Every structure is written in C-alpha cells, then in structure tokens.
C-alpha cells in the first residue's frame, strides 16, 4: 500500500541558518519551527521563526497547514498572513513563506530520490495546475457592484426566490475534481462543513440552571442589545458565513462575469482583515433579512 505523504522543501536555502532543507510529513503530521521538538526544525538568518510556528496535519484525505497562535505565514503569494489557528488544505505545488524562507509542498518521492542520489540541489518538478492559477494578493480585490445591473437589481429587490441548493453525490464528485484551495463556492462549503464538525467535536456539556426568574420581552431585547450571547469567534463567524451562503447564494451568480457573489464575499472578508467590517455586516443583514422573512410564512 502506497504511503500517504507530502514533502516540504526550502526554495531559498541561502536564507537558512540551519542545515536541513526538506522534510517529509505522513498522516501523523508534525510541526514546523525552530524548536527541537519540531519535525521540520528550521530557522532563518534573522531568527524570525518561532519555536513552534506551523502545524501540518492530515484530515479527511487532505494535508493541511495551520499557523500556531500569532505566527505569521503567507500562503501562495498573499500579502495578508493566514488566519490564526485556521486550517488550510494544501496542494502539491503550493508555496508559503515563514520569516524569510520560502517553502513549497512537493511529492515526497522527489525528496527521497534526491537523497538517494546525493544531489546538492533539489530537482523538484513544477506543477502545471499551480502555474495556471492566477494568484491575486488579498488586499487587491475590488468589486464595483453598481456596474453589474443584474446583481444590483437582485440586491435592491431582495428577491432570492430563484435560489437552488446543490446537493447529491454528483455534486460532491464535481467538488473532488477541482482545486481545493481556490476561494470558490464548493470549497467554501467543504471548509464550513469541516469547521462545523470541529466545533461539534469540541462542544462542551452544560447543566441547565433553573435557579432564576422568568424573562420578559423587554429583558430579551436588552440582552440582544448589550450582552454577547456567544463567546466563540469561530462559532459567530460560522453562523454569519453559513447564513450568507444559504440565503444569498444562487447559481445565477456563476453565470455572471467573475462570479460576482464570490467576489462580493471575498471583498467583504478582506475588508474585515483591514478592520473595516461594514461591508460584511451589510451582507449579514441582507441574509438575516431574508432569513427572518421565513418567520412570517
């Protein structure tokens, strides 16, 4: 049976302080960092790599990379660092940067072959699939919805009656054939499902406390206005994103140039990174508006 492995190589070895230049991860995963406990122990000349900087894992038939705490990792040429403690599915050919060191995911067999032949330089094949992807830095997304008449009319009228749900085995088979790291509707669904499973796994039990007086509507309204009901940022974000996807997405957007729904959502998320939350809040309110309409039916 073929081993499930993925290789990680350093592309600019001159920036390294340490001697190691590659590592092979299996389904057990491991850490990348400057500490001795890391499977891939590495440090750059400016000593910017933390003792435990990144985690490589294998989940649901895919390898993932996760920043540890506030560690900075820049993925596939992005100008924005990866979200803290958020798993990202990786593909062979993907690149990432930690400190001043550039890494690339490759076939593990290529690393093994280089060692067997005692080569000083790694001869790693390039990946056509990755080369064909146009990587746009997160900070450069710009969407003008006033120029898209169909979408503008949809948003103004709030008429989403044409929304269709994508379900069934055929849909899942189509997902498997696509690049799992692209910011696309199908991949977003996979990511949300994965995070939801993680939330359920880590869910804590709680006893019902009946030692209190009954609430009235005024108290409910006061709670909604003044008290955060959910502590978990992950859960709050999951609720907002899931509602936006469920209530506002429609296949009609895929017929438009550049898939405007995804561009709008991408722009809203990137604005959040810059501490501008208005666009995402407006999108959430639009989804909530449609969701609450169901109350009246």
Confidence check: pLDDT of 111 > 50: yes
Q: First vs last Cα of the chain: how many Å apart?
A: 56
Count of C-beta atoms within a 10 Å radius of residue 272:
15
Give CA–CA dist 24/111, Å, rounded. 8
CA atoms within 13 A on the CB side of 251: 6
Report the alpha-carbon distance of residue 6 to residue 96 in Å, rounded: 14
Percent of the chain past pLDDT 90, that is, above it, reads 27
Helix (H) or strand (E) run with residue 174 in it:
helix 169-176
The pTM for the full model equals 0.43
pLDDT for residue 85: 65
**Which of residues 61 and 8 earns the better pLDDT score?**
8
Greater confidence (281 vs 116) lies with 281
The single-letter DSSP state of residue 255 is G
User: 40-41 and 30-33 as β-strands: parallel, antiparallel, unpaired?
Assistant: parallel
Q: Which of 47-51, 123-127, 202-206, 249-253 has the highest mean pLDDT?
A: 47-51
Q: What integer pLDDT is reported at residue 177 of this predicted model?
A: 54
What radius of gyration, in Å, describes the C-alpha atoms of the chain?
23
Are the C-beta atoms of 48 and 16 separated by less than 8 Å?
A: no
Tokens of 11: 């592309």
Residue 86 has pLDDT above 50, yes or no: yes
Task: State the DSSP H helix or E strand holding residue 101, giving kind and residue range, or none if neither.
Answer: strand 101-106
Answer whether residue 120 shows pLDDT above 50: no
Write out pLDDT tens, residues 16-43.
Answer: 988 788 999 999 999 999 999 999 999 9
Q: In percent, how much of the chain has pLDDT > 70?
A: 72
Q: Mind listing the pLDDT tens digit for each residue in 140-191?
A: 333 444 444 554 554 455 444 433 344 445 544 554 455 678 888 888 888 8
Per-residue buried b or exposed e for 215-235, using 16+ beta carbons within 10 Å of the residue's own CB? eeeeeeeeeeeeeeeeeeeee
Q: How far apart are CA 203 and CA 9, in angstroms?
A: 37
Q: Which residue has the tokens 């009656």?
A: 161
**Chain mean pLDDT for the chain:** 77
**Could you tell me how many residues make up the chain?**
297
pLDDT at 1: 61
Higher pLDDT, 139 or 211: 211
């Amino acid at each position: 049976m073929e081993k499930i492995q993925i290789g990680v190589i350093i592309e600019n070895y001159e920036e390294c302080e340490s001697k190691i230049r590659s590592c092979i991860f299996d389904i057990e995963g491991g850490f990348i960092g400057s500490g001795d406990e890391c499977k891939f122990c590495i440090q750059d000349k400016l000593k910017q790599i933390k003792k435990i900087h990144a985690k490589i894992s294998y989940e649901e038939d895919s390898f993932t990379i996760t920043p540890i705490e506030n560690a900075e990792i820049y993925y596939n040429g992005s100008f924005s660092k990866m979200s803290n403690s958020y798993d990202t599915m990786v593909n062979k050919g993907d690149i990432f940067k930690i400190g001043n060191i550039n890494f690339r995911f490759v076939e593990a067999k290529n690393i093994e072959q280089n060692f067997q032949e005692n080569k000083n330089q790694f001869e790693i094949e390039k990946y056509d699939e990755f080369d064909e992807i146009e990587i746009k830095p997160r900070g450069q997304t710009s969407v003008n919805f006033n120029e898209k008449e169909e979408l503008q009319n949809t948003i103004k009228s709030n008429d989403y009656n044409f929304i269709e749900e994508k379900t069934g085995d055929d849909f899942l088979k189509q997902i498997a054939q696509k690049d799992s790291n692209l910011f696309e509707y199908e991949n977003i669904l996979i990511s949300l499902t994965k995070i939801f499973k993680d939330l359920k796994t880590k869910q804590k039990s709680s006893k019902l406390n009946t030692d209190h007086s009954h609430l009235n509507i005024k108290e409910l309204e006061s709670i909604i206005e003044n008290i955060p009901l959910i502590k978990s940022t992950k859960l709050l974000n999951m609720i907002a994103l899931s509602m936006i996807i469920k209530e506002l997405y429609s296949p009609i957007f895929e017929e438009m140039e550049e898939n405007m729904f995804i561009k709008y959502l991408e722009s809203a998320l990137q604005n959040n990174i810059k501490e501008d939350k208005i666009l995402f809040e407006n999108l959430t309110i639009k989804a909530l508006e449609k969701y609450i309409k169901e109350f009246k039916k």
